[in-house]
Amino acid sequence: MANHKSAEKKIRSSAAKRDKNRYQHKTTRTAIKNLKAVTGKSDAEGQLKTVSAQIDKLAKKGVIHWKKAANQKSKLAKAVNKLK
């Protein structure tokens, strides 16, 4: 339990940030799953741009590690390049 006003505010702001981060992370994971399900190369290339931008945003905000973001983007790019 918080004993100071500033501690109570920190709890509220932390909860709000956590909810926002969880929403963005889940949205990105869903976008990655949808990208993996695409079979057409032109559609996949279009989606790859948006998904990699979402991944970069998560890494920039510290929601995921920057190396994890790089690995995810690399694997997605390889998967898209394999499509015909």
64 CB-near residues (< 8 Å, 6+ apart): 25, 55, 58
At 2-13, the pLDDT tens digits run: 899 999 999 999
CB atoms inside a 10 Å sphere around CB 51: 21
Q: How far apart are CA 60 and CA 63, in angstroms?
A: 8
- In angstroms, what CA-CA distances link 11 with 15, 61, 64? 6, 19, 22
Supply the pTM of this predicted model: 0.86
Domain ranges across the chain: 5-82
Return the CATH architecture of domain 5-82: Up-down Bundle (1.20)
Q: Would you say 33 and 77 are in contact if contact means Cβ atoms under 8 Å apart?
A: no
At 18-47, the pLDDT tens digits run: 999 999 999 999 999 999 999 999 999 999
